[in-house]
Structure 1
Amino acid sequence: MEIPAINLKAIVLAHWLLTMWGSMGILPSSYAWGNFSVLAVGVWAIAQRDSIDAVLMFLTGMAVTILTDIIHFGIWYPHTPFQGVQSFTAGMAILSLLLKPVSCFFVYQMYRERGGDYNVNFGFPSLSRNRDAYQSIDQQDESSSPSNPFNQAQDTKPGVRTY
């Protein structure tokens, strides 16, 4: 099954609209600052179509805002019933949070399409099972033979060796 192509502009526009509506009510200004700054990185990813870094930073920012949105809801969500604008803004902020993992999936597909690695490398050393660079010990090099194991020329005189 092929994954449908979702435009990065549509993702940024949808999250911008939901963030704008979600920041009108119960949540603090740090919710708006965090989400709008990540959306600014999304605009950068739209502007530079070939940039792998822009898409990776947008993906990382979206993943981080999932965690910060959960923290904002945990701290600032009121225990009293909502009225009018409060219920609308809470609903839009929750809808934005629910759409973020789906958006992260599509942004990761765009990251791969732009030439990013399949696995994100943060610079930590890792073990690899890629053995393409290894030479088998069963195969011998054609230039060396059993009579000349160190691949030295036969008719040269031994000279001074430097180690």
Structure 2
Amino acid sequence: VILLSHWLLTTWGCFQFSNSYAWANFTILALGVWAVAQRDSVDAISMFLGGLLATIFLDIVYISIFYPRADLTDTQRFGAGMAILSLLLKPFSCCFVYHMYRERGGELLVHTGFLGPSQDRSAYQTIDSPEVPADPFAGPDSRGQASRGY
């Protein structure tokens, strides 16, 4: 539903805006098709989510720069309205896509320390530790000593 609605609104928005508006939005919709086709891919859905977030910014810039100030025909007014409606719906689409991202096993996108879950770092070795880590390529020889197995 998200893809179909944004495809339709982008197509109608191209009545007024073209070139980079169309390229940006249709490229992200292609990523959305990839995310639907690969239902188990976290990469596909994360790229689609990132693209939606980027096109929110790009649409704001593009509409604010290229919106005509006077003498709009009905078709141009309709196209501009559909582009603005698409822009207004994108944050809601991002919420739904983020929910799908989490369902597919994606982690929190923002780990800011006190806001997100902290990692347990007790198993990590400190840099200034006097212990020398075991060589993963060494195996015990006949005397029980570690030997280089290169």
* TM-score normalised to structure 1 length: 0.68
Once the two structures are TM-superposed, the CA of residue 84 in structure 1 deviates from its matched residue by: 1.2
Change (3 A) 1:113 1:131: closer
Residues 4-153 of structure 1 mapped to structure 2, 5 A cutoff: 10-25=1-16, 27-117=17-107, 119-120=108-109, 130=118, 132=120, 134=122
Change (3 A) 1:120 1:84: same
Count of aligned residue pairs for this structure pair: 121
Look at both structures and tell me which one has the larger radius of gyration over its CA atoms.
1
Kindly provide the CA deviation profile for residues 114-162 of structure 1, in whole angstroms up to 9, marking residues without a partner as x: 0001x2169xxx7586475549xxxxxxxxxxxxxxxxxxxxxxxxxxx
Task: Give the counterpart letter for 2:8 in structure 1.
Answer: L
**1:22–1:121 distance in 2 versus 1, CA, 3 Å:** same
TM-score norm. by structure 2 comes to: 0.74
The alignment-based identity, stated in percent, is 55
Whole-Å Cα distance in 2 between the matches of residues 65 and 102 of structure 1?
13
Gaps of 5+ in 1: 1-9, 136-163
Q: Once the two structures are superposed, what CA deviation does each residue of 1:27-48 show, in whole Å capped at 9, x if it has no partner?
A: 2311000000000000000000
CA RMSD of aligned residues (A): 2.1
Query: CA offsets, 1:64-121, max 9 Å, x none?
Result: 000000010111001114221001101100000000000000000000000001x216
Distance 1:132 1:38 in 2: 36
Distance in 2 between residues matched to 1:133 and 1:31, nearest whole Å:
45
Match of 1:116, SS?
Answer: coil
Structure 1 runs (4+) deviating above 3 angstroms are 126-135
Distance verdict in 2 for CA 1:132–1:12, change over 3 Å? same
